[in-house]
Structure 1
Amino acid sequence: MTTVTTNKSEPGTTTSSGADLHLQNISKRFVDFTAVDDLTLTVPSGTFFALLGPSGCGKTTTLRMIAGLEQPTSGSISIGGQDVTKLPSFQRQVNTVFQSYALFPHMSVLDNVAFGLKRKRVKDTLQRAKAALAMVELEHMASRKPTQLSGGQQQRVALARALVNRPAVLLLDEPLGALDMKLRRQMQVELKSIQTEVGLTFIHVTHDQEEAMTMADTVAVMNKGKIEQMGAPRDLYELPKTAFVANFLGKSNLMYGTVLEDLGDAVAVDASGHRLVMPKNRAVAHSGAAVVGVRPEKMRVMTLEAEYSPSANMLTGTVLDASFTGVSTEYLVDVPGIGTLATFSQNMGQAPAQRGETVRMTWEPEFSFGLDGNEKATEGKDAL
């Protein structure tokens, strides 16, 4: 069973108007596979929460069960303390923003936003719709049709239409997937700003690591129907607990080894004849087989003549490739007995290493993290 509870990383100054979301032992089984496997999850009120994972991991199915668009095979769902497991979608305090936006092309922007309120026969429909458009800074486009708007503007209209109903939980299903890179980054900032302002509970489903880490207070990395690891974005990146998380969230160099020595607050690992040190509080395994990991940007590439700290981990290898990317250069270095490792070096004016050159790669032990020795080092590398 996967059981996880989130905590907001920084309490906001805005009073939350959202609600706690609780999933208890939720599973969804289809004829030939299990999409979500015995998941227990609590998301506190007012949290911007991201479900992150590759296609087929179960994140969208989880979202659809929260929305009432799918019925769980087993388990329960509660929002604000109310069990909504058996309730149809229209009776739940949730609204969903889809990637397609699903706007009515024949209606004006204002009428699109007011549509749900009119169906509920809310008295101050137009006033509330105009206020929602003002929140997303589109009140001046109220009379236009959706086809007259840009993709980013349509996305904001869809968001206003969802917010105007004042849901306890807002569900975001890949809402930025149809936007180009520049507009996507702009909308990431705007979405986070709106969530902070209104204080709702946002559940955001995405396969885009940068998107999740930019916006969310808490990120849950899903894989094969389960949550592999959950926490603040920085914590997941700096200290992954599994190879899947290490590889799916950015790049990692993972090296198999055996723990040789207990150093008190650290352990020394033999990785194909190379002595590497990692802190115990950053390692899953403290004895036997282990996997030593380090993020590429934590490593330094230097010539054999250059001095380095005697306490640093050090490997020697041959440069296979050097790719200039603007702000940095990515080196692929072949280390005997370990294989090809990647490093990123900021372009600070220093002479770059050349292909075929023998170099040292060093990093401080506190940048190492340790995984279980049975982990598959390639897990998560090709996940999309």
Structure 2
Amino acid sequence: MSVREFAERGADLELVGIQKRFPGFTAIEELDLVIPAGSFFALLGPSGCGKTTTLRLVAGLEEPTRGSILIGGKDVTSTKAHERPVNTVFQSYALFPHMSILENVAFGLKRRRIGDPIQKAHEALKLVELDHVAQRRPAQLSGGQQQRVALARAIVNRPALLLLDEPLGALDLKLRRQMQLELKAIQEEVGLTFLHVTHDQEEAMTMADTVAVMNKGAIEQMGAPEELYELPRTAFVANFLGQSNLFTGPVVSTSADAITVDVAGNRIVVPTARAQRHQGDVTVGVRPEKVTMHTSAPEARSDRNVVGPARVGDVSFSGVSTQYLVEHPALGTMLVFAQNIGSGPVVGVGGEVWLSWAVEHGFGLEDGPDESRFLDDATTSSIAAQHRAELVSELEEH
């Protein structure tokens, strides 16, 4: 059997008018979403934004208060979890410690009396490059290897849709980055539809074809990772997906090519095509790595914004780059990431600097500075723990 046959039931996922209410709060307000077959789709957001609830609705572990869930065009809203063509890979792996790796992968096939379960399990392990450890127990494998086994166990069932619930959260940073690339490669190899739920921005941007940023039970913005990063539409997306310098002020002039915003006497120009609004008070921004720091006032140019003088308030060296916190008397604290092409930081704390950036790198938002509120950490941690326990229970039962 070729690896492409694993994807024989690949299908679109469609959520139509989904709402989910719990006693005391609404987890999802109104969600419409279409995920094409064969894509790697990430739901990204902080605790309490509704992403895990969305995954549980798709898995059949929760019922929507309102709306429909379709997989491959078939309405599965009322279908029980174990009858849906869906498998879940989650952070805890949930491998059976008393079974060999091969037995773990073949377990579901045997329970459902699928033909030739051992051969199919070997093929799934070959796909994740772990067939050579088929006779070992989970405790004899590293965290990354256990994660690959969990993936093989899910893939061997040939689901139309694979759900990934914070699958790399238990791994250390280096291994997590390695697994990000491996997961993406496996997804491209088998052609399954992956729905990945995570709060890790780098993880979502590294692996997904499309990222949907969730906030307060709704999708704030959706698109390719580069599009969301380079051109965020809201302050929430600008601040959650990376970091941003944001400034708010009235638009004082407009042209076919650009708008000019006055921020406490500083004129900041943004391309019209990169601004969501063109009149009234507008919040504009620029990413920290796009900003250049100067030790003397740079020459004024129409294609660059210049602010200053300002003073460096803090310097953090991180090897590849140096982070500067720059205090501007009118604009407040600005963040600058400078690549280390010399021997280290070029300006110390207290140094006087000017900041500039290309007009083409700026963006204008459709709202003001973000004031989002989420459930408190204790509540979201409790809900997440309950969700994980129920996912494990559901897997072992079926």
TM-score, normalised by the number of residues in structure 2:
0.90
For residues 16 and 371 of structure 2, the distance between their equivalents in structure 1, rounded to whole angstroms, comes to 32
Unaligned runs of 5+ in 1: 1-13
- The 8 Å contact of residues 105 and 145 in structure 1, kept in 2 or not, is answered as yes
**Which of 308, 320, 323 is the matching residue for 2:313?**
320
> Which deviates more, 246-255 or 333-342?
333-342
Deviation at 1:329, TM superposition (A): 1.4
RMSD of Structure 2 on Structure 1 (CA): 1.8
Q: Contact 1:308–1:362 (CA<8 Å) still a contact in 2?
A: no
| 1:38-187 alignment, distance < 5 Å | 38-187=30-179
- One of 311, 331, 334 as aligned partner of 1:341: 334
1:1-384 equivalent positions in 2, closer than 5 A: 17=8, 18-307=10-299, 309-316=301-308, 317-349=310-342, 352-372=346-366, 374-377=367-370
Deviations along 1:110-135, whole A, 9 cap, x unmatched? 11100110011111111101000100
CA distance in 2, matches of 1:234, 1:175: 23
Aligned residues: 369
CA positional deviation for 1:312: 0.8
DSSP-derived class of the 1:313 partner: strand
Q: How much does 1:380 deviate?
A: 8.7
Matched residues in 1 for 2:129 and 2:212: separation?
31
With 302-311 and 245-254 compared, the bigger mean Cα shift is at: 302-311
Q: In 2, distance between residues paired with 1:279 and 1:223?
A: 27
SS at match of 1:267: strand
Larger helix fraction of residues: 2
Partner deviation per Cα, 1:153-196 (whole Å, 9 max, x = no partner): 11111100000000000000011011111111111011000000
Classify the secondary structure of the residue corresponding to 2:31. strand
Q: What secondary structure sits across from 2:306 in the alignment?
A: strand
Question: What is the Cα deviation at residue 43 of structure 1?
Answer: 0.3
Kindly provide the amino acid, as one letter, of the partner of residue 243 in structure 2: K
Offset of residue 306 of structure 1: 4.7
| Percent of aligned positions that are identical | 62
Aligned to 1:9: none
- Give the match's secondary structure for 1:96: strand
The Cα offsets for residues 192-224 of structure 1, whole Å up to 9 and x where unpaired, read as: 000000000000000000000000000000011
Residues 296, 378 of structure 1: alpha-carbon distance in 2 compared, 3 angstrom cutoff: farther
The offset of 1:336, in angstroms, is 1.8
Distance 2:65 2:297 in 1: 63
CA shift in 2, pair 1:162/1:27, >3 Å: same
Q: What is the TM-score of this pair, normalised by structure 1? A: 0.93
Structure 2 residues without counterparts, runs of 5 or longer: 378-398
Q: What letter is aligned with 1:352?
A: V
